Amino acid sequence: MASSSGSTTAGLSSAETVALFKQHVIGNYTRYPVNLVRGEGSFVWDSEGHRYLDFFPGWGCNLLGHCPPKVVAAVQEQVATLIHVPNTWHMDVQGRWAQAINERSFGGQAFFCNSGTEANEAAIKLARLHASSNGKPNKHKIITFTGGFHGRTMGSVTATAQPKYHHGIEPMLPGFIYAPHGDLEATKKLVDEDTCAIMLEPIQGEGGVKLPPAGFLQGLRALCDERGLLLIFDEVQTGCGRTGDWFAYQKYGVTPDAMTLAKAVCAGIAGGALIAKREIAPALRPGMHAATFGGNPIAARAGIATLETIEEEGLLDNAKQLGALFQRRLTKLQQQCDLIKEVRVAGVMIGVELTIDGSPAVAKCLERKLLINCTQGTTIRLLPAMNLPEEQAEEGCDILADVLLNLPRA
C-alpha cells in the first residue's frame, strides 16, 4: 500500500513500526516493541520472522486461535456479498445469529453491538428502562462489585468498582453502588427501594480470574427474586465456551435475567451482544438505544461460524480437558515455586496469583516467545484458545515454569 510519501507500509521492521507509532498513534496503550504480522492457530509471527506461542490471543477474543478457517471463509464470503446495512432493515443472517445464541443459552432476545463496553451500556439502560416501564422511575441504582471490570465508556467504567480507572475522569455517573465481591450479606444491606439491578461477572477476569465463593451467585439470584431486581451477568470474558460450558452461568446453575457478550463471540471479529429474557427485552424500546454497526452481516456470519466450529469440533469438552491439564501442571509448579500464591482455573480461563509483581515474568516469557498477560499487578492471566493442542499447552507450561522458577527473589 503506497503512503503519501511514496513508501510502502508493508514489510516494516518492529523498530520501524515502533517509530511510526511514536509519531502518529496516541500512546494510550502500553505496547511491547514487537510488530505482529501473521497468525495461525495459537502461533503468531513478528516482522522479523520470530514465532510466538500465544496464551493470551487477542485479549481473549481469539477463542479459536488466530484465523480459524471456518470463520475466515464465512467472513470472506460475506464481504463479497453484503458488508453493511443499517438496522432499519432486516438481515436474515442477524436473525439466525440471535437464534443460534438464544438456543444455546436461556432463550431470550438479542441486541447486537460491537464491544463488551457497548453491551454493558445496553444492559445498564435496560435495567433502568425496565424499572421505569413498570412505573418505578426512581428505581435506578445498580450494585456492582469490587474488583469487577465492565469496560471503558462512562457507564461501564462507572460500573467498574476500581478507583484506578476513575482517577482523572470524575465525576462518575450517579446511581452505582459497590459491594465487596463475594460478600452476600454486605450486598443485601446495600439494596434499597431505589435499586433496580445487580450486575457482575460470574468469574472476574481483569480482576484476577477470581471464581465466586460457593453459594454467592445462588444467593444473589434469590436476593434479586425477593427484591424485584434484575440479575445481569457480564459474560464478556467467560462467554461462548471459555469455561467449558457455553456460558459461565450454566456452570453454576444460576440463570441471569440478562447477560452481555463480546470478545470471543465472533472469534476475533468485532462483535458484542446483550441477551435478555423475553419478558424483559421489550423495555429496550425503539429509539432508546442503538449501535450503527451492531449485528452487521460480517459479525453475524463470524458469530454463527464460531458457534458451529465449537460444536462441530467438540471444543467445550476440549476446554475442560485443557483446564484440567493447566490445573495439574500449575498446581505441581506451585508446590515447587514459592512465588505462586494461588492457582485458579475454569476451562481455558486461568489465573496464577504471585506473591510479587508479575511484569518481569511477562517480559521473560516474551523473551522465550511465549505471550502471556499480567493483571492486577500480581496475577498471571492466561486465556489460550480452546482448540490449543495439548503439546502446545505443555510447551507453554514448560516455559512458564522455567521462567517463574528462575525469577530473581527480593
Active site residues: 149, 234, 263
Q: From CA 147, how far away is CA 237, in angstroms rounded?
A: 14
Contacts of 226 (CB under 8 A, 6+ apart): none
Backbone angles phi, psi at 36, to 5 degrees: -80, 135
Retrieve residue 323's grid coordinates: 483446564
Q: From CA 255, how far away is CA 230, in angstroms rounded?
A: 11
Contact 176, 145 (CB under 8 A): no
Retrieve residue 79's grid coordinates: 464481504
The dihedral over CA atoms of 334, 337, 342, 346, expressed in degrees to the nearest 10, equals -50
Any long-range contacts for 284-288 (C-beta under 8 Å, 24+ apart)?
A: 284/111, 284/122, 284/125, 284/126, 284/129, 285/129, 285/133, 288/125, 288/129
